[in-house]
Amino acid sequence: MRGLRSGHQPLGASTFRPKGSKGVVSAAFPLLLVSLFLIFSCLFEITPVIRETRPQLILAGIGLLILFTSGKAMKVVMTPVGKSLLMFTAWFLVCIPFAVWRGGSVGIFLNVWYKALLMFVLTAGLLSTVPQAKRLFHAIGYAVGLMATIALAERSYHFGRLELPNSRFGNSNELAISLLVGLTFLGYTYIHGSQRQRVLAAVLCAPVLLALVKTGSRGGFLGVVMLCAYAYSQSSSGNRLKMMAAVPFILIALAILVPSNLRSRYFTLFKSSGQGPMTREEYKEYIAAAGSAEARLKLLKDSVTVTVQHPLLGVGPGNFPVEQNNMAIARGEIGMWHQTHNSYTQVSSEMGIPGLILYVIFLYRTFKQLTSIVRNRQPGAFWVDLRALAGPLRASLVVLATVAMFDSFAYIPDVPIMAGLAVALGEIAQEQEATDSVTTAVARPGSRMKVLVANRRLA
């Protein structure tokens, strides 16, 4: 009350004026935009000139410096999702000294995981408004479309499967995972973008789908099925009819464009023996694909065995191929030197059951954060936009969690980046709820105490 008598601004007015540190963080958003575009387009890896200047490291370093000096980094780390990811990282470090091959675990941490963790902090910290989120979603979709176009133009195949050499997409399965993620963002752009953005999204979906099929990833194929089922369940009756009409034409087009060896590979999802008359070459390709499916099953069984034998600490991050080779030699066989092809048993075999529990908690909290936004029924354009952002992001998480049962990608940055986006949307929602409560309280006479409480929440 003294402030009001001395001519100070009314309580609640400061709510709508961003603080200095928040303004700096908001101004640093282009760093995140460019960083994620470079990551998902893979331009910084496949272009020699860009790769040598290391732009991702420079941009991420500046962004993280801003976040740590402003205190925003600690804020996002202390969210439920951030805490679970931090606990998973701590357990990762605990497991390293007990690894079968400590050097391999250290390499996984330094070359892969710590970068993924920092990208979580960068994404969750530098994204602070709905308009920024819209731009970022469009950019990720465009980046994946560009990456798919580059991969198709490069025409680099390993045993008939599309890959992108000299990048993190040198593995066909990891390429398929990022293409799946890109589809959800392109879907958001097509549904909620401007006319020009919708046309561009529709055009880019074609190379993304074609590249996805040409990876020969059976996990990716199941991810597409899951994505279609999820989109169908969340769509209106009118959009469901459109999807049912479009899917047969898309499948026919892809079946015509996909080589016979990949068709045989996908066919092993449903059968493991002959599928009718084939040429000799087609039969060889089919047998190779069927053999790959049997090898996956053996790897899965071995990963469960390793988990049972090392339930507390596992054999060390990145060390399942080493331990599987030791097991194969003991059986008088040749080691496969492959990952588990299951992200959950990858974690359980390499970081024990506690590591798996922490990883599942991390995924659950991320899903819960997005679900709370999707189910929020507050009126207004802001909440409509926020729910529209959370929906496809939740779809991508559902798809990734499903494909994780068929591919090993527990340590790649895609999932932490999705989690960072979820945390950012959650923080935006929380701030808007506080702002709404202040607005409501100011409109009611005799509710000055509520304004003070809301101001403290925003602070």
Mind listing the pLDDT tens digit for each residue in 105-115? 999 999 899 99
- Show Cβ contacts of residue 307 under 8 Å, excluding neighbours closer than 6 positions: 314, 345, 348, 349, 352, 353
The pair of structure tokens assigned to 441 is 């309280």
The pLDDT value recorded for residue 20 is 56
CB 12 within 8 A of CB 455: yes
State the pLDDT at residue 217.
82
Q: How many CB atoms lie within 10 A of CB 354?
A: 19
Task: Say yes or no to pLDDT of 288 above 70.
Answer: no
Q: How confident is the model at residue 12 (pLDDT cuts 50, 70, 90)?
A: very low
pLDDT band at 345 (very low <50, low <70, confident <90, very high): very high
Q: How confident is the model at residue 274 (pLDDT cuts 50, 70, 90)?
A: very low
Residue type present at position 51: R
For the residues of 271-295, what is the DSSP string, one character each? -SS--S---HHHHHHHHHHHHHHHH
What are the C-alpha distances in Å from 46 to residues 35, 164, 204, 215, 455? 15, 9, 20, 18, 48
Q: Of 2-16, 286-300, 435-449, which gets the smallest average pLDDT?
A: 2-16
Q: Which residue has the higher pLDDT, 188 or 458?
A: 188
Predicted confidence (pLDDT) at residue 262 exceeds the cutoff of 80: no
Q: Is the pLDDT higher at 21 or at 89?
A: 89
Reported confidence tier of residue 260, pLDDT bands at 50, 70, 90: low
Lowest mean pLDDT among 202-216, 262-276, 285-299, 415-429: 262-276
DSSP codes of every residue in 111-154: IIIHHHHHHHHHHHHH--SHHHHHHHHHHHHHHHHHHHHHHHHH
**pLDDT number for residue 265:** 62
* CA 444 vs CA 363, 438, 439: distances in Å: 41, 10, 9
CA-based torsion, 392, 393, 394, 396: positive or negative: positive
Give the C-alpha separation, 257 to 195, whole Å.
29
pLDDT at 355: 97
Q: Does residue 341 register a pLDDT over 70?
A: yes
156: left (phi over 0), alpha (psi -120 to 50) or beta: beta
Contact 153, 170 (CB under 8 A): no
- H or E element: which one contains 250? helix 237-257
Task: Yes or no: say if 344 and 359 are a contact pair by the CB < 8 Å rule.
Answer: yes
Q: Is it the case that residue 14 has pLDDT exceeding 90?
A: no
- State the pLDDT confidence band at 82, using cuts at 50, 70 and 90: very high
- What pLDDT, on the 0 to 100 scale, is given for residue 447? 52
Any idea which of 3-17, 216-230, 403-417 has the lowest mean pLDDT? Answer: 3-17
How high is the mean pLDDT of the chain?
Answer: 82
Alpha-carbon span 300 to 452, nearest angstrom: 56
Burial class (CB in 10 A: 0-12, 13-18, 19+), 221: buried
Contact status, residue 39 vs residue 56, Cβ threshold 8 Å:
yes
Name the token pair of 182.
């890109």
Q: What average pLDDT does range 451-459 have in this prediction?
A: 53
Q: Is the dihedral of CA 422, 423, 427, 428 positive or negative?
A: negative
Provide mean pLDDT across the span 333-346. 87
**338/370: higher pLDDT:** 370
Q: Give the whole-angstrom CA distance, residue 141 versus residue 227.
A: 15
User: Averaged over 297-316, what is the pLDDT?
Assistant: 93
CA dist., res. 171 & res. 344, Å (int): 19
Q: What is the pTM of this model?
A: 0.84
pLDDT tens by residue, 373-418: 999 888 889 999 999 999 999 999 999 998 898 888 899 899 999 9
What pLDDT was estimated at residue 286? 47
pLDDT tops 90 at residue 94: yes
Residue from 433, 4, 396, 454 nearest 185 by CA = 396
Taking each helix axis from N to C end, the angle separating 414-443 and 114-126, rounded to the nearest 10 degrees, works out to 20
Q: How many CA atoms lie within 13 A of 234 on its CB side?
A: 18
Helix (H, G, I), strand (E, B) or coil at 354: helix
The Cα 222–Cα 406 span in angstroms is: 9
Contact assessment for residue 431 and residue 100, using Cβ atoms and an 8 Å cutoff = no
- Given a cut of 60, whether residue 346 has pLDDT beyond it is yes
DSSP classification of residue 409: -
* Residue 413 backbone dihedrals phi, psi, to 5 degrees: -75, -15
User: Where is 296: in which H helix or E strand?
Assistant: helix 280-309
How high is the pLDDT of residue 446? 53
d(CA 342, CA 332): 25
